[in-house]
Structures are given as structure tokens and as C-alpha cells.
């Protein structure tokens, strides 16, 4: 199916089809046309998206026909939760089996200047001045600025008190 056919089938604009591609709801493939490449969409994928949209439209009462705003809020909350779960799954799938572990700032052994400022509550400028005046130990990173050991930051903050 071409972009125009998909738009007509779904009852949306071509721009909406482009947004579906950006959001990962539709995959796009290109084939050589007479002068340019032509965007082609998988018909089963488009039909699945249409079915999903119809389910959402059926479950989401319109504001006019809503018996109460509470039921509308509940339906809207369910939709948002479903979307959030899908996005989280997509992100995890994209990262693959070697998922990057996110370590809280409090648990890191070394910090960059921004993290040190966030953790200590001191400004970046103040910490930079302390590093330059050798009051705070830090190592110059290759491309990311200063690296500060957590223990050195803790000692520096204790001396300030």
C-alpha cells in the first residue's frame, strides 16, 4: 500500500501516516519508482493499526456522550497506561539483551561535574573553581570534562560545613 492508500484506508491525512511511522506504529519500505523511491506499507500491519485505532475509539467515550467525567478519565488513564507499557517494551527491545544498567547518582563511584553539582547542591561554577584551586580532587576526562570520585566530593562537602 502506498502512503495515500494507507491514509485513505485509515481515514487520516498523509501527515498522520508519517507520524505513525515516526512513532513506530507502522514500518515503511521503499521500492524504486519511475523517478523516485516509493514508500510502501505492509497491508497486514496497516489493518492491525486500524483495528487498534477502532478499539481505542470504542473504549474512549466522547466528551459529549460521556455519562460522567470520571468514566472518561478512567478510560483515558487506561489508554495512557497501555501506551506507556508499549513504549517501555519498545525501548527495551531496541536496547537488546545488553541493556544498559542505569545506576542512581547516589550509587556511582565517579561523577561528572553536572552529577556532582546535582548531588551536592553546589553550582557547577563553584565546583569548577574548587577544582581549579585544588580544593576538590578531580581528573580531566578525555571528552566529558571533569571526573570526580564520590569520596572526594563527600570530603569536600564535609570541609565546607
Residue 39: the pLDDT is 85
Residue 135: the pLDDT is 92
Q: Where are the domains of the chain?
A: 1-57, 60-98, 105-160
Please tell me the distance from the alpha carbon of residue 79 to that of residue 59, in angstroms, as a whole number.
9
Extract the residue ranges of the chain whose pLDDT is less than 70.
Answer: 59-69, 92-102, 143-144
Looking only at the bridges linking them, the beta strands covering 139-140 and 146-149 are: antiparallel
Q: Show the CA angle centred on residue 6, arms to residues 32 and 35, nearest 5°.
A: 20
Please tell me the distance from the alpha carbon of residue 161 to that of residue 151, in angstroms, as a whole number.
16
Residue 130: the pLDDT is 92
| Fold annotation for 105-160 | Multidrug-efflux Transporter Regulator; Chain: A; Domain 2 (1.10.1660)
Residue 143: the pLDDT is 67
Under CATH, to which class is 1-57 assigned? mainly alpha
Whole-model pTM: value is: 0.38
Residue 66: the pLDDT is 47
Q: How far is CA 21 from the centre of its chain?
A: 16
Amino acid at each position: 500500500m502506498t502512503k495515500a492508500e494507507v491514509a485513505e484506508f485509515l481515514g487520516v491525512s498523509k501527515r498522520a501516516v508519517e507520524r505513525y511511522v515516526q512513532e513506530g506504529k507502522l514500518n515503511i519500505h521503499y521500492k524504486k519508482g519511475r523517478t523516485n523511491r516509493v514508500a510502501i506499507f505492509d497491508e497486514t500491519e496497516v489493518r492491525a493499526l486500524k483495528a487498534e485505532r477502532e478499539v481505542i475509539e470504542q473504549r474512549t467515550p466522547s466528551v459529549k456522550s460521556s455519562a460522567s467525567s470520571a468514566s472518561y478519565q478512567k478510560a483515558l488513564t487506561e489508554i495512557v497506561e497501555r501506551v506507556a507499557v508499549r513504549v517501555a517494551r519498545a525501548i527495551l527491545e531496541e536496547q537488546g539483551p545488553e541493556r544498559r544498567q542505569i545506576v542512581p547518582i547516589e550509587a556511582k563511584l565517579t561523577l561528572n561535574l553536572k552529577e556532582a553539582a546535582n548531588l551536592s547542591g553546589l553550582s557547577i561554577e563553584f565546583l569548577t573553581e574548587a577544582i581549579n584551586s585544588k580544593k576538590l580532587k578531580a581528573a580531566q576526562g578525555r571528552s566529558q570534562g571533569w571526573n570526580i570520585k564520590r569520596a572526594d566530593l563527600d570530603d569536600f562537602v564535609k570541609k565546607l560545613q
